[in-house]
Structures are given as C-alpha cells and as structure tokens.
Amino acid sequence: MTVADGAEPPIDKTCGEGMMPETLASLHSLGIHLEREEGFRFDGICFVNEGMRAFAKFPGGQGLGLARPVLHGKLIARATECGVQLLWKTPVTEIDRDGVLARGSKIRARWIVGADGLASRVRRWGGLEPANSSTLRFANRRHYRLAPWSSFM
C-alpha cells in the first residue's frame, strides 16, 4: 500500500479536533491506542447559538479532543509499522484505470482511495462531484491553553 501526499508532516488544518467514541474504537482496531492523558475526553456534543443550547451525551463511551498533528503522527507511526510506503511532497496529478500519476511517475494501483480533502480532485476526476455545489462557508480555529469549562464538545 502507498500513500502519496502533496504536503509533508506535520500536516495541520482547520478542524474541531474532536473524535467520536466510534472513531476511537476504529483507531483501536487499527492498532492505534490513545492514552487517557493524551487529549481531552468529552461526554457528548453541545451546539451553542446566541441564547440557545442543544446538547446530547454519547449513549456509550467518551470522545477525545486531540491536536490533529498529534493524531497524524500516530497514524504515520502505525502505517510505517504496517509496511505502508509513505510519499510526502508527492502531489497526485492524474488518475486512470491502472493507477495514479505522482511527481511524473506512474504508481500502479488496483484501488485508489481519494482522501484528498474537501475540494477532492480524485472525486472530480472520478466524475463523483455532487449535482448541487454547496454554498461557501468559512471556519477559523485557534488553540487556547485553559482549563475546560464543560465536558461537552
């Protein structure tokens, strides 16, 4: 298995950085074990909008808030352990029936997983663009070092 990414670690992006209990179970089954003290555990989700709040506890288990580059580092370590070939600074520029073109070289592949983000080119090349394009949205993220005031994300 080969992973080709146009960027190089540590790869970060704007994100809420909250993992649901099911995500943690999936990571566990992949051999990625996150210690309790590695992030911040939370019990559910709370949406806040002006004077309104809507919240719900997870029916089972807890979620985990963890900085994206930390999670990425763990994924890289486990993938390396499993023998995955990791190619950084290697943008994919084309796909066809036999594989992908990356940095001018053909990588032969039976299956191509296009985990290339919101504006996925693999999705476009595969003719899988949605019929209705969604409206443009903006997000900002900033980290603050302070004690949590809620057990909800």
Ligand X SMILES: Cc1cc2nc3c(=O)[nH]c(=O)nc-3n(C[C@H](O)[C@H](O)[C@H](O)COP(=O)(O)OP(=O)(O)OC[C@H]3O[C@@H](n4cnc5c(N)ncnc54)[C@H](O)[C@@H]3O)c2cc1C
**Which residues are at the interface with ligand X (CB under 6 A)?**
4-7, 11, 13-19, 91-92, 115-117, 121, 139
Which residue's Cβ lies closest to ligand X?
16
Contact 8, 89 (CB under 8 A): yes
CB of 67 to ligand X, least distance (A): 11
d(CA 116, CA 148): 32
Residue type (1 letter), 33: H
Q: Based on CB atoms, which residue is closest to ligand X, 51 or 119? A: 119
Structure tokens, 117: 């983000």
- Which has the closest alpha carbon to 111: 122, 102, 120? 122
CB of 130 to ligand X, least distance (A): 15
Q: Based on CB atoms, which residue is closest to ligand X, 51 or 113? A: 113
CB of 9 to ligand X, least distance (A): 9
- Say whether the peptide bond before residue 59 is cis (omega within 30 degrees of 0): no
Q: Based on CB atoms, which residue is closest to ligand X, 22 or 98? A: 22
